[in-house]
Amino acid sequence: MRMQFRDFIASDFSFHEEPVLVLEGFWTREELAYFQDAMKSSSWTPLSKLSNMEQFSKDCGNWLQGEFKNEQDRGVFCKRIDLPFIVDYVNSFPNIKKGYLGFKYYAYGAGDCLTLHDDTDGYSNQQHPVRRRLAITTYLHSEWKHDWGGELILYETHKDETGKQVFQVSHCIPPESGSLVIFTVPRLHRVCRIDPLAGNHKRLSISGWLSTEH
């Protein structure tokens, strides 16, 4: 489902029926400015220095991952996405011991991308595994043109008559300023490479997961 946030009726929505939700115009200008300022003071680590991202380190550029500087900024974000239909979905799984929120800042520039994955790499092998339930990405840049790339591509898969796995694009989501994207995990997806036409412009986002421990 894709629609303007102002027209969205939360009480009518369920991730059990619609696994992908795109809400355009989710953030106000003031909220965008708030997080843009917060990102300026974040501590950033390039992909080449992220040891837990080895699967994405080859030919994916050198995008940046940033930490929330303080709990106030994290709290503002988490409070804004504390929506009933999100909480209801996460709590719908049986025998939950704990819930987790994990989010970081990201900055993609020309040449950066993210290869195909389904987010299950975060699952734990411990006695009580942590499972990612919802992936959330929201875009914080002020401007983004369609020929700059950076689209989020979601896939569905099936097997053909020979048993070979076939990939089919289910959603192509441009990184529209102020939009919020949420989808259920696992779900195959990737981020298209940022085109040189973007110049010095950065694809800015907050991305992460809502997870449960069982």
What the block records as the tokens of 161 is 């008559």
- What is the rounded CA–CA span in Å between residue 89 and residue 141? 29
Mean pLDDT of 5-32: 97
Mean pLDDT of 1-15: 96
**pLDDT confidence tier of residue 155, bands split at 50, 70 and 90:** very high
For 173-202, how does the pLDDT look when each residue is reduced to its tens digit (9 = 90+)? 999 999 999 999 999 999 999 999 999 999
- Does 167 score more than 60 pLDDT? yes
What the block records as the tokens of 14 is 């369920």
- Does 213 score more than 70 pLDDT? yes
Tokens 């909220």, residue? 31
CB 35 within 8 A of CB 94: no
- Does 17 score more than 90 pLDDT? yes
**pLDDT confidence tier of residue 52, bands split at 50, 70 and 90:** confident
Question: In this prediction, what percent of the chain has a pLDDT beyond 70?
Answer: 97
Question: What is the residue range of 163's domain?
Answer: 2-213
Mean pLDDT of 98-107: 95
Mean pLDDT of 133-149: 97
For 57-102, how does the pLDDT look when each residue is reduced to its tens digit (9 = 90+)? 789 999 999 999 999 999 999 999 999 999 999 999 999 999 999 9
What the block records as the tokens of 30 is 């003031």
Specify the pLDDT at position 125: 53
Mean pLDDT of 105-113: 98
Specify the pLDDT at position 123: 56
CATH code of residue 64:
2.60.120.620
Domain count, the chain: 1
**pLDDT confidence tier of residue 160, bands split at 50, 70 and 90:** confident
Whole-number mean pLDDT of the chain? 94
